[in-house]
Amino acid sequence: MNEQIILVTGGSRGIGRSICLTLAERGCTVLFTYLSSADKALSLIAEIDALNGGRAYGYQCDMSDLKQVQALAARFRKEHGRLSGLVNNAGILGDGKPFLMGNDDNWWNVMRTNVGSVTNTCRIMLPLFIAQRRGRIINMTSISGQKGNAGQSAYSASKSAIVTFSKTLAKEVTRFGISVNCVSPGLIETDMTADVPDEYVASRLTNMPMKRKGNVEEVANLVAYLLCDAPNYMVGQELTIDGGLAIS
């Protein structure tokens, strides 16, 4: 595990932050990106540095900007030389408005940000994985991408697109020793879901087998398993972690 170097995009907050901490606790070297929250990034680095064996490096980068991602990859190659795994977690939720009431520019911004952040990173990092003949990619999706969600048409569409992109990518790169899988969280306690209306949450919890929101540590443990412990034979899958929401 001390040899693992993992890149987590959007790693300074929410699920991404928990993924970084969980990987660092396992002894991985964690490289993470953030868009604007430098204070949160520094706080995360300090917390990981205090762990036994954990190391972290934070990089400011807009993952939806291909040129910025290219520059970031050049830094990685110079500073670290290789990469064991990639977690595409960066993304935005959107304005929460019904489709016909929303702004067209905002709608496409969500699509470009969420899908572009994944495709840009895969396009730039895959040559490194192919040269190594190994690597694991986890793309974060959402239960909204499976079922759709009122007020989140762009977010739902972007997450669904990421799933089909990931399945296609798995067909193309598995032969190079690279696995591609998705993790699809349901209602998770994060700052992104803090503004979700209480009545909506209550309606979803009523029929859920577990009757509660998930926590970020549960999602992070699943991601860490896929990166570090899962068999190589697991490829092209979307693993749902939602307390049974999808079946309710």
Catalytically annotated residues: 155
The token pair at 158 is 């972007």
Residues in CB range of 74: below 8 A, 6 or more apart: none
Q: Are strands 5-8 and 29-34 parallel, antiparallel or unpaired?
A: parallel
Instruction: Count each helix (H run) and each strand (E run) in the chain, helices first.
Output: 8, 7
**Straight-line distance from the first to the last Cα atom of the chain, in angstroms, rounded to the nearest whole number:** 38
| Beta strands 135-140 and 178-185, pairing class | parallel
Which residue stretches of the chain are H helix?
14-25, 38-49, 66-79, 104-132, 144-147, 153-173, 198-207, 216-228
Q: How far apart are CA 23 and CA 41, in angstroms?
A: 16
Question: Which residues touch 198 (CB under 8 Å, ≥6 apart)?
Answer: none
**Residues 126/73, Cβ–Cβ less than 8 Å:** no
